[in-house]
């Protein structure tokens, strides 16, 4: 198995074309906007206002958990592998990679790249950067990625990673945003250092306030990083963010409240980008607890939700209906032909009767910490479910401590996923039996079996079949209601130019807006 | 003067005791909050293993009294310790923000205190006149609106037209004029919020005295109304006014987090809120101590000043 980025290109491209067409339809761009894209201009100070960032944010890559940390990291660091705007793996610090059997992965480290401090990036730096997330005493959020890793060693200019079982998608995991390449000091990285080999050099950083960076004059990518300076500001209040953009104090903001998009458009001072991706909002049900241990109850709830109305009202149209499928249209093996679940009160009643019930009453625990609009979404769900004899009692929880006290604690609640570029990544973290983020505590023998088989399957068609069967199982037997895929909605000043294709992998062009965008 | 010195020392002693009690209460309260730093730092991605590893690294597996004692011994030696979340020294994290908070409080006070005193005195002087009514109604409406609403109105009127920035970007390197310019809107918001209280207290205290026999005496001997207010009534009305000013100053230092959020102002309030949300107890404690000290010191100053303005208290045995 040779995992140069061109592998799978035929099928993946075909799928992606479809996804791109979908994406283009979702993009709200003035006609002149796209025409203005020629050769990138150099220069300018790019000021980003983000609705994230706390004074408690640290430097440790294992603990990066919000968009501020992610964009700040992408501004100063490189990774082994980058996910490009088309969703394909692209070489970054790893020049190329291959695996003969899916068990041994060889990453060839690019030569002649240096850190901001002037030190050359070596194989040792890469190993130390990976090992930071590995081992019993690691505190990294992606520790589990390295559970199957038995050894990481150097071989000349190569880093060799050995797994205990084949995984055809291991290279994808190496594109995770936590895996920044940082300089090694005595075999370990210093998690408090801001030194990296990325596009911009940190000039100053005040957590929860702002970071200022200047262009790395020695950046090895000649066609990237077009701004002279980047400033990343934490602006938590959504009205303050909008004001900052409208009064020209920042050039890009994220998280636009759907209710204000119309007004912003009418003002004609900003461009709004709405990028469909794999991110989705969910209502997980504890499949061990009654009544959710009966699949008929789960199906009844799935038919009692009006997905289109959710997209229209909660997302303001900036999203798409999901068929309880954690795999999105931007994924390679997305199963588009599944039987769609529409809002169908009769069918919901039918499933209730199958479960031996005439009516059903459940508590749904929500807070806007789960996703913006979660409380409204819960109310909407309760409203439509009532038509099928299902009484959803909305319990409003505080935002503070939501992930500790509600999520994975209460049997029925709200949550979100950023989506993953790879099916295996998504399923392994959220749906495999016993997975740490399996928030519905769901277990399905056939699903687990397929998951392991698909991981090491080399035949593309068989693999597709397996992943599609898994999506079918999750959708119709799973214990998570996934009503919608939310778009990444952002707004830029009118002089900001984005490339033809903006990544759907993560928000803000896969966090890479700082090195992919430029000023007109 | 001896009595005043004694009082200051006594009050300072009591103040230290207050600070100790505050620190115990805050520590206890944060212990009661669900979840701890390790789980909030990891958020949605917390798994039992990573949480356990992080807890051990941060010393959160120690019992609460042990953690409190470690913290207290550090603080007594002047060491606030490092933030559990970021591993940065807390004094570093706070110094800039404390400076910003004090700057904004002083800025707002510099506008609000003279403004409310003048308005209050004039309102008392022209009691029940049109001026009195307008000043009262204006100040009361300003205080009745929530702070963020006042802030948004000011942004709408003064920032969207480009006169003042809606977002405060302040750095230590800026000149004083620039600082005053960029922080004008938050300072104005706070002024509108605190003026009513001080103005009405000034007015009420003076009017209260205007009914006294000695004021009547002054009036009978033909002193002008302005002179009566400034020379005869005001000195006796100073004690309540000083107290109310001190209270409002303390509020300007400790209670302005909403204004900080709206104007993206990097002050202590935001740091406090973030730290509570992350259960970063060391930082919460340090800020709570600063806030409590602000109250203690301002109240002490108010007491000393009101004693000095009242000869009867100075002579009391």
The secondary structure of residue A110, as a DSSP letter, is: P
| Residue A513 pLDDT | 93
The minimum CA-CA distance between B286 and chain A, rounded to whole Å, is 14
What's the half-sphere exposure (Cβ side, CA atoms, 13 Å) at A409?
14
Q: Which two tokens stand for residue B153?
A: 């109105």
394-413 in A: which are within 8 Å (CB) of B?
400-401, 403-405, 407
* A15 pLDDT higher than 50: no
Nearest to A311 by CA among A327, A322, A325: A322
Q: What is the pLDDT of residues B128-157, one digit of tens each?
A: 899 999 999 998 888 888 888 999 999 889
The whole-angstrom separation of Cα B223 and Cα B208 is 18
Candidates 1.25.10.10, 3.90.740.10, 3.40.190.10, 3.10.105.10; CATH matching A280-486: 3.10.105.10
Classified by CATH at the fold level, domain A33-77+198-276+488-520 comes out as: D-Maltodextrin-Binding Protein; domain 2 (3.40.190)
The per-residue DSSP string of A463-501 comes to: HHHHHHHHHHHHHHH-SEEEEEEEPEEEEEETTEE--SS
The minimum CA-CA distance between A371 and chain B, rounded to whole Å, is 12
Helices A258-267, A238-246: axis angle to 10 degrees equals 10
Name the strand (E) or helix (H) holding B151.
helix B147-154
Question: Does B90 fall in a domain?
Answer: no
Contact B90, B283 (CB under 8 A): yes
Q: Which two tokens stand for residue B265?
A: 């102002």
Question: Does B208 fall in a domain?
Answer: yes
Q: Which two tokens stand for residue B20?
A: 């100790």
Cβ pair B49:A401 closer than 8 A = no
Question: Does B72 fall in a domain?
Answer: no
Cβ pair B264:A437 closer than 8 A = no
What's the half-sphere exposure (Cβ side, CA atoms, 13 Å) at A444?
25
Cβ pair B40:A58 closer than 8 A = no
Question: Does B169 fall in a domain?
Answer: yes
The whole-angstrom separation of Cα B284 and Cα B276 is 6
The per-residue DSSP string of B77-141 comes to: TT---B-TTT-SBHHHHHHHHHHHHHHHHHHHHHHHHHHHHHHHHHHHHTTTSHHHHHHHHHHHH
Contact A206, B264 (CB under 8 A): no
The whole-angstrom separation of Cα B202 and Cα A135 is 67
The minimum CA-CA distance between B243 and chain A, rounded to whole Å, is 34
Closest residue on chain B to A206 (Cα): B93
Cβ pair B264:A233 closer than 8 A = yes
**Residue that has been written with the tokens 């941060």 in this structure:** B58
Per-residue pLDDT of chain B (317 residues; tens, 9 = 90+): 677 788 888 888 888 898 889 888 888 877 777 667 677 666 655 677 777 777 777 777 778 888 888 878 888 887 777 777 777 788 888 888 899 999 999 999 999 999 999 999 999 888 889 999 999 999 888 888 888 899 999 988 988 888 888 888 888 788 889 999 999 999 999 999 899 889 999 999 998 888 889 999 998 998 888 888 888 888 888 888 899 999 999 999 887 888 888 898 888 888 888 888 777 777 888 888 888 888 888 988 898 888 888 877 776 54
The interface pTM score, or ipTM, of the predicted complex is 0.76
| Residue B285 pLDDT | 83
Task: Please give the C-alpha separations between residue A281 and each of A368, A397, A452, B224, in angstroms, as whole numbers.
Answer: 12, 17, 26, 73
CATH number where B120 lies = 1.10.3720.10
The confidence band for A458, taking pLDDT boundaries of 50, 70 and 90, is confident
Of A136, A143, A243, the CB nearest to B159: A243
Cβ pair B271:A55 closer than 8 A = yes
Q: Does A223 touch chain B (CB under 8 A)?
A: no
Question: Does B197 fall in a domain?
Answer: yes
Chain B residues touching residue A251 (CB < 8 angstroms): none
Question: Does B29 fall in a domain?
Answer: no
Chain A residues touching residue B261 (CB < 8 angstroms): 236-237, 240
Cβ pair B43:A65 closer than 8 A = yes
The whole-angstrom separation of Cα B155 and Cα A38 is 37
245-284 in A: which are within 8 Å (CB) of B?
246-247, 249-250
- pTM as predicted: 0.80
The whole-angstrom separation of Cα A259 and Cα A241 is 14
- Count of domains for chain B: 1
Name which of B31, B274, B279 to mutate to probe chain A: the one with the most chain A Cβ atoms within 10 A of its Cβ.
B274
Helices (H), B45-89: 48-58, 64-76
Classified by CATH at the fold level, domain A1-26+79-194 comes out as: Dipeptide-binding Protein; domain 1 (3.90.76)
- Write the burial class of residue A313 (CB in 10 Å: 0-12 exposed, 13-18 middle, 19+ buried): middle
């Amino acid at each position: 198995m040779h995992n140069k980025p061109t592998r799978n290109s035929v099928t993946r491209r075909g799928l992606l074309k479809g996804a791109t067409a979908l994406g283009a339809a979702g993009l709200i761009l003035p006609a002149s906007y796209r025409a203005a894209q020629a050769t990138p201009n150099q220069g300018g100070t790019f000021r980003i206002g983000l609705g994230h960032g706390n004074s408690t944010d640290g430097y440790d890559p294992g603990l990066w958990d919000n968009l501020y940390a992610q964009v700040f990291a992408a501004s100063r660091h490189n990774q082994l592998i980058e996910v490009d705007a088309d969703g394909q793996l692209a070489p970054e610090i790893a020049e190329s990679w291959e695996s003969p059997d899916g068990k041994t992965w060889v990453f060839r480290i690019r030569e002649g790249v240096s850190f901001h401090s002037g030190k050359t990036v070596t194989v040792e730096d890469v190993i130390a950067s990976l090992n930071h997330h590995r081992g019993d005493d690691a505190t990294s959020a992606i520790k589990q990625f390295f559970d199957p890793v038995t050894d990481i060693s150097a071989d000349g200019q190569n880093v060799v990673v050995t797994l205990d079982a084949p995984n055809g998608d291991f290279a994808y995991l190496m594109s995770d945003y936590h895996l920044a390449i940082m300089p090694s000091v005595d075999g370990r990285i210093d998690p408090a250092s801001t030194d990296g080999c990325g596009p911009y050099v940190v000039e100053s950083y005040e957590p929860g306030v702002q970071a200022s960076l200047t262009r790395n004059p020695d950046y090895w990518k000649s066609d990237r990083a077009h701004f002279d300076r980047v400033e990343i500001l934490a602006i938590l209040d959504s009205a303050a963010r909008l004001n900052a953009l409208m009064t020209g104090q920042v050039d890009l903001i994220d998280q636009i409240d759907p209710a204000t998009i119309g007004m912003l458009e009418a003002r004609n001072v900003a461009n709004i980008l709405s990028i469909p991706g794999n991110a989705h909002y969910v209502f997980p049900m504890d499949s061990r607890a009654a009544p959710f241990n009966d699949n008929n109850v789960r199906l009844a709830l799935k038919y009692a939700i009006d997905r289109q109305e959710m997209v229209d009202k909660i997302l303001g149209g900036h999203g798409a209906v999901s068929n309880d499928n954690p795999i999105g249209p931007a994924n390679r093996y997305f199963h588009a032909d599944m039987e769609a679940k529409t809002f169908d009160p009769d069918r919901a009643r039918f499933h209730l009767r199958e479960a031996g019930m005439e009516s059903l009453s459940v508590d749904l625990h929500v807070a806007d910490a789960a996703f913006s609009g979660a409380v409204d979404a819960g109310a909407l769900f309760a409203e439509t479910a009532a038509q099928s004899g299902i009484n959803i009692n909305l319990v409003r929880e505080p935002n503070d401590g939501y992930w500790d006290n509600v999520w994975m604690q209460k049997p029925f609640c709200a949550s979100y996923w950023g989506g993953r570029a790879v099916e295996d990544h998504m399923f392994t973290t959220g749906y495999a039996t016993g997975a740490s983020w399996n928030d519905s505590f769901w277990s399905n023998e056939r699903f687990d079996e397929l998951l392991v088989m698909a991981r090491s399957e080399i035949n593309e068609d068989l693999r597709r079949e397996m992943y599609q069967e898994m999506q079918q199982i999750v959708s119709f037997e799973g214990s998570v209601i996934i009503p919608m895929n939310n778009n990444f909605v952002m707004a830029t000043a009118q002089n900001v130019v984005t490339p033809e294709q903006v990544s759907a992998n993560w928000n803000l062009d896969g966090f890479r807006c700082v090195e992919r965008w430029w000023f007109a | 003067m001896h009595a005043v010195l004694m009082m200051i020392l006594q009050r300072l002693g009591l103040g230290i005791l207050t600070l100790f009690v505050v620190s115990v209460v805050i520590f206890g309260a944060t212990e009661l909050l669900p979840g701890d730093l390790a789980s909030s730092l990891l958020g949605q991605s917390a798994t039992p293993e990573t949480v356990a590893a992080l807890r051990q690294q941060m010393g959160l597996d120690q019992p609460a009294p042990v953690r409190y004692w470690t913290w207290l011994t550090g603080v007594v030696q002047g060491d606030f310790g490092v933030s559990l979340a970021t591993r940065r020294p807390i004094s570093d994290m706070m110094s800039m923000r404390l400076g910003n908070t004090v700057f904004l409080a002083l800025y707002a006070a510099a506008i609000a205190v003279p403004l409310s005193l003048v308005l209050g005195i004039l309102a008392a002087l022209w009691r029940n006149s049109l001026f009195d009514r307008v000043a009262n109604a204006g100040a009361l409406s300003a205080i009745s609106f929530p702070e963020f609403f006042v802030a948004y109105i000011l942004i709408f009127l003064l920032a969207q037209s480009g006169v003042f920035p809606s977002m405060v970007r302040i750095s230590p390197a800026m000149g004083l004029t620039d600082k005053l310019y960029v922080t004008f809107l938050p300072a104005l918001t706070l002024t509108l919020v605190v003026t009513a209280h001080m103005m009405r207290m000034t007015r009420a205290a003076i009017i209260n005295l205007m009914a006294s026999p000695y004021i009547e005496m002054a009036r009978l001997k033909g002193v002008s109304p302005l002179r009566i207010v400034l020379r005869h009534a005001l000195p006796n009305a100073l004690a309540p006014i000083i107290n109310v000013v001190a209270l409002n100053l303390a509020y300007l230092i400790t209670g302005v987090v909403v204004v900080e959020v709206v104007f993206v102002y990097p002050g202590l309030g935001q740091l406090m809120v973030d730290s509570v949300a992350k259960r970063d107890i060391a930082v919460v404690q340090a800020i709570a101590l600063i806030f409590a000290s602000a109250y203690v010191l301002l109240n002490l100053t108010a007491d000393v000043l009101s004693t000095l303005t009242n000869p009867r208290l100075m002579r009391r045995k």
